[in-house]
Structure 1
Amino acid sequence: MSSSTIEPTVETTAVRPDYEVIIVGAGFGGIAAAIELREAGIHDFVMLEKHDGIGGTWYINTYPGIAVDIPAVFYSLSKMPFTSSSRFFPPGHEIQQYIERVVDAYGLRKKIRLNTTIESARWDERNYLWRGTLASGEEITARYVIGALGLLEVAKLPDIPGIDTFAGHKVHTARWDHDYDYTGKRIAIIGTGATALQLIPEMAKVASHLTVFQRTPIWLAPKPDFRIDWGLDRVLSGVKPVRAAVRGAIASGIDMGLIGALLSLRRMPKAMPYVTRAGGAMYKLWLRDEELAEKLTPTYAPGCKRPSMSNEYFKTFKQKDRVSLITDAIEEITEKGVRTADGVEHEIDVLVCATGFRVCERGFAPAFHVYGETGEELGDYWHEHRYHAYQGVSVPQWPNLFMVGCGPNSIIPSSILVTIENTAAHARRAIVETRRRGATKVDVNRQAYDDWAKFCTDRTEGSMWVSTPCAGSNTYYVNYQGELAIRPTTGLNQWWGNRHFPVRHYTFSTRPALINARTREPELATT
């Protein structure tokens, strides 16, 4: 064949992605994002869920005693009431049932791909789209990516010598083994955080002996819990004015507390030693046991970590014939049990790791590799340039990427669902505005990003969370770089900021027309 008959090269990259939007995660964050897209008239999306069921945190955490620490009327999406709670603070399985109902009510189930793990995503600057690589090796493309990965999902095992040598039954609270019979066993629990305070009383009921290894004690208050399935649940969830009033009252109460805390950020460290001593005195009155109070009283200030509530936790340790509280440091895990620094080997049958999750840690923020416009990985960028995102959602040079409920400086000390709905609304507005302009790329301005980062840093500088009163608290309010990870504003500010941010804080662009060498006609990389 002569060269004169060779077809000319087609110089076009008018690539049409598989989906307009990929949502990573099918927990509350992914569901809220999907609802926002549907309500905006965007239906070309898929939800990728690595587990074999939906619900995220509430799907994988099924340990005995699990419950939410926010009232059901507030721990629910504003668009759909929680209509079947049996208690004011509902147990975990009822939260999971609520999630299932929300998914069905909005017709989202057909949009979800289970057992699908995304390992990396890379921005394709030539075509203005994201290319995701799945664990199966499959490539999947989308114009936009919404990361809704959650925070309490990636289990954190203790870094203790010999952890793999234990010959008994070992389990993490986020991967509970319901097939194993714990009855009559010698059970050890490592950890005394928010998860452990729910689990410990339940394990004490079935163990022949329970040993709790405490590194950091926790501040807690009585839990005002009670049954509401006698009709109050229907009033709180079914009567809209009542539901709105109760939700508003809770939100306002939290905001008023936050306002006081924010206004006192630089004065709080000076007052906290007195508050800590007062808390210790209250523990002594509550426990009526000098030795136990000394072990269970934190040295850090109240408020350093998320507030916890329990009516059973302290009572459990009063059963001294069946429950042991060990505060000596763990030296190693042996084949038979746990050896502490005092040389004692505590022989056990079951080792339970209530050691929490990888929150705001290097390598897990985000939990998969995300390569932006310059080819840099997002986790590496945050490691080098500090952990920030505009309104907790966007990062410059990672265009068309939005984080819902899991971004830096996005969370307020309230119901996580407030943050999730607010940041999902942010993603919706940015995507809708991009489509309205006929653009295919949206990227937050560097100046807006830097200004927001400075606001967060300046607002929290000198606060108790990053100073002496919180030393030793091991709080996830502070990221691994030593900066406050939460959003230093009220919930109302978060609501407004994510729904009414200036559109000028983003840059919108459309892929320039490329000429088809065969037809000489322009083609655009549009959806």
Structure 2
Amino acid sequence: MFNSSSNSNKNVRIAIIGTGFGGLGLAIRLKQAGFEQFTLFEKAADVGGVWRDNTYPGAACDVPSHLYSFSFEQELGWKNRYGTSQEIYQYLRHCADKYDIRPHVQFNTEIASAEFDALQGVWHIQSTTGEQFEAEFLVGAVGQLNRPAYPKLKGIENFKGKAFHSARWDHDYDLTGKRVAVIGTGASAIQFVPEIAKQVAHLDVYQRSAPYVIPKPDRVYQPLEKKAFRKLPILQSLDRALQYGHHEIRLLAFTTSLNEMPLVEYLFQRHIRKVVKDGKLRHRLMPDYPIGCKRILISNHWYETLTQPHVDVINTGIREITENGILDTEGNLREVDTIIYGTGFAATEFMAPMQITGLDGRTLKDTWKDGAEAYLGLTVSGFPNFFMLYGPNTNLGHNSIVYMIESQVNYILDAIQTTLQNKLLFTNVRAEVQHEFNQSIQEKMKKTVWAQGCTSWYQTADGKNTNNWPGFTLEYRQRTRRFDVENYTQVSAIS
């Protein structure tokens, strides 16, 4: 437990990089625990993380709003069962304001590097503009989905029309009447494609690998329901608990044999056959890998959009981008005015492009040359007093990442407090502890649908799954309930 009146809490310096759910959640808990010298570094002009950046048409969450929010700060006014990106962004801004976190945020500050000084037990931090800072504890709260990924295509720089990534949407550019090509059919594309199809003259959707898309069980909360949630918050808490239980049990479909997903397979088959009547088109939209191997997507408009006469789905590969269009591997050139990259994020490149240097001059980049790994997704051997939120192997395929983040926040708080109470200069997770933990994670991964041979953003180029947690979130919460200092090398401060 934390002593909020401790004088040591007032002096220790804590640097947090990022102001999404992770950064804000930790900042709020730090403040409640009596810490005062913490700073959040934010490269943008406002808080919000991925929900501030992803403003493309139709952007929304695929986890119910009552569950995709902090347990200690339940928003009672969600319009729909699933929140839009704008609603979630405003929710995070509300949290920053209510808990008075903004005075602790240094906006428009992108961190370039951080180096640990073992003699002083201090992280020396530098921004991209050369500003320098120091902190006893460093927390990376940049998550897994903060850097857009672009495909490596020949001639990508030669295109003379308009081109942008969905995570950096250009709202000043009018798509009305334009010939548009969308490259990618992942989670972002299935949301924005149905929206832009309403205004473009023609739409080419380039699909390398067809996704499994099932109906989204979304609906509008009726005025009577919202009134009931406001009058009796326990009703929303109950709804949240029911949603949590429903999502948690879904893990069984991912971690047992493929035969455990018959219901999802049935929903997919029924959905696509009902909407896509054209057999040839339906064949192009059928995935060629086991269901669940990649992220299962939810949408009520994706397949309907792809059946429209001004929309073409193109399965052939892309040979190159030309000045005025896209040349496919069969030699067909399709001219377009606009290219939108719905190609996701550099999800396996944790903490990049920052250079994080730990003991003996070792960098995270070199340490992770064979794929990122950490103990509990939180700490890395050789990098003392350094923590990550939503780090390696803490992504979920079945539940809310906010629940995982709250578990991690509690662990980090306990770690900082334990370090201070024991008068330690720093703690460093033991290499054998980290190795054993990650061996067990990868062994568990072999028994999941994510190890069935497909490629996805969960994996490195060599096929190592560095992103997902292959267990229940309850198990993770139990393992992070307290800071297990016995698994760390402890270096005492010189008094």
Residue 240 in structure 1 maps to residue 233 in structure 2: yes
Query: Within 5 Å, which residues of 2 pair with 1:57-206?
Result: 57-206=50-199
Contact 1:123 1:371 in 2 (8 A): yes
Letter paired with 1:428 = L
Q: TM-score, normalised to structure 1's length?
A: 0.87
Displacement of 1:130 in angstroms is 0.3
Name the CA distance, whole Å, in 1 between partners of 2:239 and 2:266.
34
Name the CA distance, whole Å, in 2 between partners of 1:201 and 1:275.
23
Residue 478 in structure 1 maps to residue 459 in structure 2: yes
1:409 to 379, 382, 393: 393
Displacement of 1:495 in angstroms is 1.3
Unaligned runs of 5+ in 2: 1-9
Contact 1:279 1:302 in 2 (8 A): no
Task: Give the 3-state SS of the residue equivalent to 2:250 in structure 1.
Answer: helix
Q: Which one has the largest radius of gyration?
A: 1
Name the CA distance, whole Å, in 2 between partners of 1:237 and 1:200.
35
Contact 1:18 1:142 in 2 (8 A): no
Equivalent residues, number? 484
Q: TM-score, normalised to structure 2's length?
A: 0.92
Displacement of 1:252 in angstroms is 1.5
Which whole-Å deviations, capped at 9, do the CAs of 1:327-371 have from their partners, x for residues lacking one? 11111111111111222211111111111110013xx54441111
Name the CA distance, whole Å, in 1 between partners of 2:417 and 2:318.
53
Contact 2:114 2:355 in 1 (8 A): yes
Which whole-Å deviations, capped at 9, do the CAs of 1:400-449 have from their partners, x for residues lacking one? 000011x1112232212112111111111100111111223122223322
Contact 2:178 2:200 in 1 (8 A): yes
1:309 to 277, 292, 298: 298
1:383 to 369, 373, 378: 369
Letter paired with 1:284 = R
2:286 alignment partner in structure 1: 297
Letter paired with 2:392 = P
Name the CA distance, whole Å, in 1 between partners of 2:199 and 2:270.
32
CA distance 1:210–1:35, change in 2 (3 Å): same
Residue 342 in structure 1 maps to residue 330 in structure 2: yes
Contact 1:273 1:301 in 2 (8 A): no
Name the CA distance, whole Å, in 2 between partners of 1:275 and 1:315.
19
Contact 1:412 1:490 in 2 (8 A): no
Residue 370 in structure 1 maps to residue 356 in structure 2: yes
CA distance 1:239–1:449, change in 2 (3 Å): farther
CA distance 1:195–1:344, change in 2 (3 Å): same
Per mean C-alpha deviation after superposition, the further-off stretch among 233-242 and 427-436 is 233-242
Which whole-Å deviations, capped at 9, do the CAs of 1:76-113 have from their partners, x for residues lacking one? 11110123321111211111111110000110011111
CA distance 1:261–1:108, change in 2 (3 Å): same
Name the CA distance, whole Å, in 1 between partners of 2:387 and 2:189.
33
1:12 alignment partner in structure 2: none
2:426 alignment partner in structure 1: 441
Letter paired with 2:346 = R
2:3 alignment partner in structure 1: none
Displacement of 1:311 in angstroms is 0.8
1:452 alignment partner in structure 2: 437
CA distance 1:236–1:343, change in 2 (3 Å): farther
Name the CA distance, whole Å, in 2 between partners of 1:32 and 1:111.
13
1:287 alignment partner in structure 2: 276
Name the CA distance, whole Å, in 1 between partners of 2:231 and 2:71.
13
CA distance 1:275–1:146, change in 2 (3 Å): closer
2:471 alignment partner in structure 1: 489
Name the CA distance, whole Å, in 2 between partners of 1:370 and 1:209.
46
Displacement of 1:204 in angstroms is 0.6
Contact 2:212 2:297 in 1 (8 A): yes
Name the CA distance, whole Å, in 2 between partners of 1:490 and 1:376.
33
Displacement of 1:172 in angstroms is 0.8
Residue 28 in structure 1 maps to residue 21 in structure 2: yes
Name the CA distance, whole Å, in 1 between partners of 2:302 and 2:347.
25
Which whole-Å deviations, capped at 9, do the CAs of 1:153-205 have from their partners, x for residues lacking one? 10111211111111111111111111111111111111111100001111110
2:213 to 210, 216, 220: 220
Task: Give the 3-state SS of the residue equivalent to 2:312 in structure 1.
Answer: strand
Residue 503 in structure 1 maps to residue 485 in structure 2: yes
Displacement of 1:115 in angstroms is 0.9
Letter paired with 2:276 = L
1:5 alignment partner in structure 2: none
Contact 2:458 2:468 in 1 (8 A): yes
CA distance 1:296–1:237, change in 2 (3 Å): farther
Which whole-Å deviations, capped at 9, do the CAs of 1:438-463 have from their partners, x for residues lacking one? 22312222332222112212212253
Displacement of 1:479 in angstroms is 3.2
Displacement of 1:283 in angstroms is 2.8
Name the CA distance, whole Å, in 2 between partners of 1:273 and 1:100.
41
CA distance 1:317–1:71, change in 2 (3 Å): same
Task: Give the 3-state SS of the residue equivalent to 2:480 in structure 1.
Answer: helix
Contact 2:189 2:342 in 1 (8 A): yes
CA distance 1:147–1:511, change in 2 (3 Å): same
CA distance 1:358–1:233, change in 2 (3 Å): farther
2:409 alignment partner in structure 1: 424
Letter paired with 1:482 = G
CA distance 1:369–1:239, change in 2 (3 Å): farther
Per mean C-alpha deviation after superposition, the further-off stretch among 158-167 and 221-230 is 221-230
Contact 2:214 2:271 in 1 (8 A): no
Contact 2:384 2:428 in 1 (8 A): yes
Name the CA distance, whole Å, in 2 between partners of 1:83 and 1:274.
32
CA distance 1:234–1:49, change in 2 (3 Å): farther
CA distance 1:508–1:251, change in 2 (3 Å): same
Name the CA distance, whole Å, in 2 between partners of 1:274 and 1:25.
38
Name the CA distance, whole Å, in 1 between partners of 2:230 and 2:145.
26
Displacement of 1:289 in angstroms is 2.0
Per mean C-alpha deviation after superposition, the further-off stretch among 441-450 and 235-244 is 235-244
Which whole-Å deviations, capped at 9, do the CAs of 1:17-65 have from their partners, x for residues lacking one? 9961000001111101111211221121000011122111011110111
Name the CA distance, whole Å, in 1 between partners of 2:378 and 2:319.
41
1:10 alignment partner in structure 2: none
Name the CA distance, whole Å, in 1 between partners of 2:461 and 2:406.
26
Displacement of 1:272 in angstroms is 7.8
CA distance 1:503–1:272, change in 2 (3 Å): same
Task: Give the 3-state SS of the residue equivalent to 1:77 in structure 2.
Answer: coil
Task: Give the 3-state SS of the residue equivalent to 1:205 in structure 2.
Answer: coil
Unaligned runs of 5+ in 1: 1-16, 513-523
